[in-house]
Amino acid sequence: MVGLALSQAELLKVGPIASHHSLHLLPVSKKKKKQKFVIGDEYGVVSTYQMKKGEPQNVYKSVTLAGPVACVTMGTSKGTEDKAFVATGQHVHGLSKKGKEFFKFQSNLAEPMRKIHAYDSQLWTTTDFTFNQYDNGADKHSYVSPDRINDAIVVPINHEQDFYGVLGCQDRYIRVVKDSKSVSKKAMDAPVTALCRVPPATGKGATSSGPAHILYGTAAGSLGLISYNGDKLKNKWKTSSQAALASSISTIESGSNGNGSLPQSMATINSITCFDINRDDHPEILVGRDDGRVEVYSFNSNSGDVVKLFEHTNSDSIRCVQGGIVATPGFEELVATTFSGRVLSFTTEPLDQPDDDDTYGRSRGTVQRETRIVKLRKEVAALEDKIARLSLQRGARDKEHLPVAEDLVVNSKFQLNAALAAYDVSLEIPVSIQMIVLHSAVPLDLLENESNLAIVSKSPVDPANGTHFLATYRCLEPTHRLEFQVRTIEGQFGHVEATVVANTQPRSAQTIKFYVKPLSLHHRVNELTEAEEAELQKPCNTLQLSGDFSLVQIHDWVSMCLPEVPGRLQTEDVTLRYRNTFLGSLLVCRYSKGEASFSTPSVSVIAILKEIITKEATARKATLNISLDIKKESVPVMLGYLRPLLDAKHALASQVKLIDGLKELQLHEEDYTAWMAPEYQHILENSEKILAEFKLSPKALNYLAGILTDLYVDLCKFRGTSAKQNLPRLYQLIEHYHFDTLVEFYMRE
């Protein structure tokens, strides 16, 4: 498999774009053999453009709509393929190819629309929690999802008008909806963030019969393919986000099957589509990620072979990707939008080749860039004249009225990365960032990030005044986006505030708040493997609650403790399973009206749940009967989860002690590779990496020591004894580590 050579060009810039469905291409023009594109931004402006000689020409710009554009799509029935349907707030607007409004619809829902699909007189709308179908403006069917809907598509299954809705949900499920019912669902490894139907092989588009093949992308960065035949959802293949942690970015030569061995980015997939970009009669997967990566993959639906053909990293996050022929007839391209409003093209046209129409022999790319520069200079000159005229008109009013900075549009993320057992934090604005101030009411452990183009300055903490962490990021180079990782401490909960200061005149800033929950490092597990089922057979501690609380109340209390709790209840008996991303221990929550039970080998988790729920029940004056079953045998199980981490850190210290001696041998013995043991050669080869890890190991050991200390303190509380006098001994055992001695210490009454 050969790679794909694509040339990048920036087509134009519009207002900021937050939506993942902000861009759509019109059908190929029969006359010009290329496509126009429709784009909507956060300012509510919808525009259509066509490219002429590398220059964007505005076909029309709509009247500014009532709010940010959430979705731009084209009609799917005959005669409507060139008509745009635009969703903003509770409204849908239909625009002809010349920009005239021919349709307007207002939903009766309180939630704003996120995605729409139009076919003939039928309209499907998706909000955060509801999936609705309308016919001639009348409400026909409605489905309420248990958790947030991140993306939705409408596909025909058995014949061209037998429509099903496919929903990608935050609770790690893909659901298939027919009319007002969920008819099938499939558990995924992470929240599903993007969906796309694979075009049928028959080439008849959506009108063909047979099972639908659907590509999906997740918040963990993995890709997958499922099929649905009207009965059940079936997994065809999937990549693994775990592979990205252990491997570098994959190359064409290292492409392999899609059963989890394909190295890839762990960044959230924001947009995914299928398009035959290299004219091999098989559609490729076009992917846009939150970290700014644009990727192209080839795939085989049956064998699961997935190969990365192309990758490019941008400084802005990618919001939407589409495939088509936009700039030059005969050359396919990937078109992408970024958060700052840039529209990028990755074209198969060789822009470094000479332009046949240029008398100076310049390349196509150079001609296009210089033409664009001339046009931009004219626009800048016109704007400068306009500013000068307005300044004269304003005159003396400057002394009376101070300029006010506009509100910033901020794209923020605070998301648990299960592979790193830490939170990915990203903050992005349409203009350059001057600095970011991170203030936390809970302790945070800041992870090292060499790719960050910012200087981090930490300030002293002040717990008495609610400051457990304070850091300032100052950007060294102009950037719109900054990302980093922080690790929380379970049992500590509260707000984290990030203040983004823009590099503008006058200065403007926006503060974003995130909430850290008490069991913040736990993530949902929908279906357990055989190994995980076997784990539940090991000794576990149990917290049982009973009382006069309602199902809604206990659901709220669980939601206060744990992330990823579904927003809507759909059954009277709820079972939720969680895994601690740092240690690997499981937690099973079962609750209904008046009853609840929580099982886990971790005494600390039981202590946290008991404290939070008891406090909330007391505040609401709800009767609560508590029953605890703390098993002594669960302590070695929990320490077993910690053992690999402790062994690795102490093994690292042992390797560091050997490095100086091994280097001396290397200097004096030229043939050392012939007789030196492989493990010692490995230490020599990786000495710099080992020393760098060791430099960070005191912080890591302190974090592990904190977990061990909390575990012992909580164990003593349940035993009814004091931990204080034995803590110095525990610290000695951690410093002079031996696992069996540590277990004996914990098991001693």
489-530 pLDDT tens trace: 999 999 999 999 998 888 889 999 999 999 999 999 988 888
Q: What is the pLDDT of residue 285?
A: 95
CATH number of the domain to which 458 belongs: 2.60.40
Task: Find the DSSP H helices in 168-326.
Answer: 242-246
Q: Give the residue among 634, 631, 605, 639 at the shortest CA–CA distance from 733.
A: 639
Lowest mean per-residue pLDDT among 70-74, 158-162, 171-175, 267-271: 158-162
Give residue for tokens 């001396």: 664
Residues 607 and 655 grouped into a single domain: no
> Is residue 633 within 8 Å of residue 581, measured between CB atoms?
no
Over residues 95-99, mean pLDDT: 90
Residues 161 and 214 grouped into a single domain: yes
Residues 463 and 315 grouped into a single domain: no
Over residues 336-360, mean pLDDT: 81
CA angle centred on 377, ends 373 and 378, rounded to 5°:
120
Residues 668 and 561 grouped into a single domain: no
CATH number of the domain to which 553 belongs: 3.30.160.110
Residues 561 and 423 grouped into a single domain: no
Residue 251 lies in a domain: yes
Which residue type sits at 300? N
456-482 pLDDT tens trace: 999 999 998 889 999 999 988 889 999
Q: What is the pLDDT of residue 357?
A: 64
- The parent domain of residue 275 ranges over 7-349
Residue 377 lies in a domain: no
Residue 384 lies in a domain: no
How far is Cα 708 from Cα 703, in angstroms, rounded to an integer?
9
Pairing relationship of beta strands 55-61 and 71-74 according to DSSP bridges:
unpaired
Is the pLDDT at 88 greater than 50? The verdict is yes
Residues 78 and 109 grouped into a single domain: yes
Residue 235 lies in a domain: yes
Residue 543 lies in a domain: yes
Over residues 698-703, mean pLDDT: 79
Residue 382 lies in a domain: no
Q: What is the pLDDT of residue 631?
A: 92
Over residues 429-446, mean pLDDT: 93
366-417 pLDDT tens trace: 666 677 677 777 778 877 777 777 767 666 555 555 556 667 889 999 999 9
CATH number of the domain to which 292 belongs: 2.130.10.10
CA count, 13 A, side-chain hemisphere, 700: 20
Q: How many domains does the chain have?
A: 4
Residues 571 and 534 grouped into a single domain: yes
Residues 275 and 308 grouped into a single domain: yes
Residue 388 lies in a domain: no
Residue 374 lies in a domain: no
189-247 pLDDT tens trace: 999 999 999 988 654 444 455 688 999 999 999 999 999 988 889 999 988 755 444 44
106-140 pLDDT tens trace: 988 889 999 999 999 999 999 999 999 999 989 99
Choose one of 516, 543, 574: the last residue of a domain: 516
- Which H or E run contains 660? helix 634-668
Helix axes 603-619, 551-561, angle to 10 degrees: 130
Task: Find the DSSP H helices in 236-282.
Answer: 242-246
* DSSP assignment string, 6-39: -EEEEEEE-S----SS-EEEPPPPTTTSS--EEE
> What's the whole-number average pLDDT of the chain?
86
Choose one of 458, 486, 516: the last residue of a domain: 516
Q: Give the residue among 716, 391, 329, 443 at the shortest CA–CA distance from 729.
A: 716
Q: What is the pLDDT of residue 245?
A: 45
Is the pLDDT at 321 greater than 60? The verdict is yes
Residues 448 and 564 grouped into a single domain: no
Residues 443 and 487 grouped into a single domain: yes
301-320 pLDDT tens trace: 767 788 999 999 998 999 99
241-283 pLDDT tens trace: 554 444 433 333 333 333 333 445 789 999 999 999 988 888 9
Task: Find the DSSP H helices in 237-363.
Answer: 242-246
How far separated are the first and last CA of the chain, in Å rounded?
A: 64
Residues 577 and 700 grouped into a single domain: no
- SS3 call for 288: strand
Choose one of 299, 328, 349: the last residue of a domain: 349
Residues 211 and 341 grouped into a single domain: yes
Confidence of residue 666 (pLDDT cuts 50, 70, 90): confident
